Amino acid sequence: MQFDHSGPDIPISLLRAQRAGNLLFIVGAGVSKAAGLPLFGELADLVYARLGQAIPGAPGSLASRAELEARRDGQYDRLIGLLEQRLVYRGADWRQPHNRVREAVAILVQPGPRARVAAHTDLLDLSRATDGRPRIITTNFDTLFERAWRRRTGQHLTSTAGQGMPTVGSHDFTGVLHLHGRLGDRRYGLSETDLVLTSANFGEAYMRSGWASRFVYDLLRRYTLVLVGYSADDPPMRYMLEATEEGRLNFPDLKPAFALVGDTANDAGSLREAWRGKGVQPLVYHAPNHDHGALYRTLDAWAQLAREPLEWSARQLARIAAASRKDATAEDRATFAYLTKEVSSVTVAAVHS
């Protein structure tokens, strides 16, 4: 079903999973970008600038050849790790109790007090358990979800991170779960945790100790997952999906994973191929000039349906019924069929037919 004419077509299976409390969103940096925070590649360049370092390849740069190659190849986790090695572990900072690379990251991804959080609110409402409690996974370090909930309800939302996250599917599996760590936030009484930031950190979390890969695998066993705010080549995607690839091959009964994907280059075919190669079903929408408005309008309308299913359905049915049947679009026909069969009562449908 399309909530917006330019937006992704949401499969009925996802709508059903959401209503049953079995849908879980995993949220990446693209969603925080809408609130004014940088994407991973932008963050890496900003860290260099904040620390007075010319980016690799620029005049006067002291970066190593390995840094130059990592930036060229989009391996930003490796790039930040190499910078950390050069400035902190092999530099003058190695005896200091602080790590200025991570301090720079913490400053650069700290949201402003008026950051836009409408999409975060919508995602919280779409990723609720059957008891109504929201639970959402994010690989972002920021506390925008916690802020969105406080603005909406005036209450604090449970927030856990890293290896301190509760067992998947348990009673305590609720609130915001920061898979790769969380920044501190005094306003909400949240302490900073370790961050999964560099390639070495990812290797520890997903391979050597493997706690993060086990967590993601358990998610796939329990929930229908929807990834939003990622590109197929993002470091978090690479580690999360490669870590579970063997499990999906051996256990084909794992629940499906979907990704909401913006087509920014009019190349939907390549996008679909890239995501399917990672075992994820892409839901592609048109995003010219990196305008993801169609996605956010979709999330807004879907969240309205989740909050007030009968009221929202009645409005849509009235709108569709106002036009003649022969003039109805395919999207309107699909919407009408879904709402009358699975959301609204037969009586409501009859009134507007």
Q: How many CA atoms lie within 13 A of 87 on its CB side?
A: 23
Residue 95 confidence (pLDDT): 56
| Rounded Cα distance, 260 and 276, in Å | 13
**What is the reported pTM?**
0.91
Residue 351 is predicted with a pLDDT of 45
Distance separating alpha carbons of residues 106 and 112, to the nearest angstrom: 13
Distance, in Å, from the CA atom of 27 to the CA atom of 120, rounded to the nearest integer, reads 9
Are the beta carbons of 75 and 87 closer than 8 angstroms? no
How far, in Å, CA of 353 to CA of 340, rounded? 10
Only one residue has tokens 């592609």, namely 284
What are residue 311's phi and psi, to 5 degrees?
-65, -45
Q: pLDDT value at position 347?
A: 43
Rounded to an integer, what distance in angstroms lies between the CA atom of residue 55 and that of residue 2? 42
Predicted confidence at residue 353, as pLDDT, reads 47
Which pLDDT does position 349 carry in this prediction? 46
Contact 52/73 with Cβ under 8 angstroms? no
User: Would you list the domain boundaries of the chain?
Assistant: 12-37+116-303, 40-108, 308-351
pLDDT by 10s per residue, the chain, length 353? 999 999 999 999 999 999 999 999 999 999 999 899 999 999 999 999 999 999 999 999 999 999 999 999 999 999 999 999 999 988 655 556 689 999 999 999 998 888 899 999 999 999 999 999 999 999 999 999 999 999 999 999 999 999 999 999 999 999 999 999 999 998 888 999 999 999 999 999 998 999 999 999 899 999 999 999 999 888 888 888 876 666 666 666 788 899 999 999 899 999 999 998 888 999 999 999 999 999 999 999 999 999 998 888 888 888 888 877 777 788 888 888 888 888 865 444 444 44
According to CATH, what is the number of the domain 12-37+116-303?
A: 3.40.50
